[in-house]
């Protein structure tokens, strides 16, 4: 089935949706994006994703052309138009069309807003059952990773390098500490059962699923520490996992070839995935 996309206020078949070659998102990576999961035709953790979108826009001086109510309505409409039961909604906002220049275009330049869907069975995830292997790579991204920008080349390069090393994904390392995965938040569980994840800063994205999982862990009596951790700590961990809107909670069973725990998805990770799906499915809008 041909998808229906949203582009600057119009609903178009994907074959007819066109963006100018002079769009600053294409020429300068001058744009942001957001991803919201859809489960049972409803939006998962929507408030967190909408808030992060607004924050990213403010940090770059971008203006959303929709009000909060309109943005929610468009999300719901794109689900309905594409009969999406499970999958993702991708939104991209750029500074619009202008002559190529490092200087921002004049005030009043219309932004470009695109939304499209991807159908995906988010509940049946082979990686969640078997776990993934990660390779440690240097974090060479720009310094404002807290902004969800469209400049994703290095994460793509890191994931490809990880694949070349026989791993499924990369955990990025800067100044001796893990920042995050190529497109997800990194977590470990220590031998004492403490859930450790990097504290928020410009070094990493404020993951919406991260926040939900930390809240669920604390509610179930798990001690949580938000701090930097080293690759050695990660290798010695009892459990490790990643969180993201597209995959929820996925176990990490090996880091740079070193087995994590017994090399199988462990109890707390599996519980957190189950808690997340149950609670967010119930609260989806």
3-state secondary structure of 38: strand
Is residue 78 a contact partner of residue 117, using CB atoms and an 8 Å limit?
yes
pTM (predicted TM-score) = 0.95
Query: What domains appear along the chain, each with residue ranges and CATH number?
Result: 4-119 (3.30.470.10), 126-283 (3.20.10.10)
The predicted pLDDT at position 214 comes to 98
pLDDT at 1 over 80: no
Whole-angstrom distance, CA of residue 267 vs CA of residue 160: 30
Q: 168, 180, 169: which is closest to 210 by C-alpha?
A: 180
Mean pLDDT in residue range 37-52: 98
Whole-angstrom distance, CA of residue 164 vs CA of residue 156: 12
Q: Residue 223: how many CB atoms within 10 A of its CB?
A: 13
Mean pLDDT in residue range 56-81: 97
Q: Residue 69: how many CA atoms within 13 Å on its side-chain side?
A: 0
Whole-angstrom distance, CA of residue 87 vs CA of residue 75: 13
Whole-angstrom distance, CA of residue 19 vs CA of residue 61: 21
Return mean pLDDT, the chain.
97
Among the options 18, 42, 120, 148, which is catalytic? 148
Q: Residue 231: how many CB atoms within 10 A of its CB?
A: 16
What are 138's two structure tokens? 């240097």
- Per residue in 129-149, pLDDT (tens digit) is 999 999 999 999 999 999 999
- Per residue in 241-257, pLDDT (tens digit) is 999 999 999 999 999 99
User: Could you confirm whether 148 is annotated as catalytic?
Assistant: yes
pLDDT at 93 over 80: yes
Whole-angstrom distance, CA of residue 187 vs CA of residue 206: 13
Spatial CB neighbours of 25, under 8 Å, sequence gap ≥ 6: 19, 31, 92, 94, 95, 112, 150
């Amino acid at each position: 089935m041909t998808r229906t996309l949203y582009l600057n206020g119009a609903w178009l078949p994907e074959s007819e949706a066109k963006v100018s070659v002079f769009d600053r998102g294409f020429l300068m990576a001058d744009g942001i994006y957001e991803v919201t999961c859809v489960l049972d035709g409803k939006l998962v953790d929507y408030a967190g994703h909408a808030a992060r979108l607004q924050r990213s826009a403010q940090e770059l001086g971008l203006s959303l052309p929709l009000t909060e109510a309109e943005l929610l309505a468009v999300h719901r409409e794109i689900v309905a138009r594409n009969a999406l039961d499970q999958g993702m909604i991708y939104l991209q906002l750029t500074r619009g069309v202008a002559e190529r220049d490092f200087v921002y275009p004049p005030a009043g330049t219309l932004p470009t807003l695109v939304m499209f869907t991807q159908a995906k069975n988010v509940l049946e995830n082979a990686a969640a059952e078997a776990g993934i292997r990660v390779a440690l790579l240097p974090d060479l991204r720009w310094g404002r990773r807290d902004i969800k920008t469209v400049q994703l080349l290095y994460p793509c390069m890191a994931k490809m390098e990880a694949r070349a090393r026989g791993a499924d994904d990369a955990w990025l390392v800067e100044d001796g500490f893990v920042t995050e995965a190529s497109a997800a938040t990194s977590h470990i569980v220590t031998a004492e059962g403490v859930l450790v994840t990097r504290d928020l800063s410009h070094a990493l994205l404020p993951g919406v699923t991260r926040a939900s999982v930390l809240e669920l862990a604390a509610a179930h009596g798990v001690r949580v520490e938000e701090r930097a951790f080293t690759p050695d700590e990660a290798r010695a961990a009892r459990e490790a996992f990643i969180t993201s809107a597209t995959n929820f909670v996925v176990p990490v069973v090996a880091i740079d070839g070193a087995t994590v725990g017994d090399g199988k998805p462990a109890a707390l990770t599996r519980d957190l995935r189950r808690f997340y799906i149950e609670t967010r499915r119930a609260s989806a809008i």
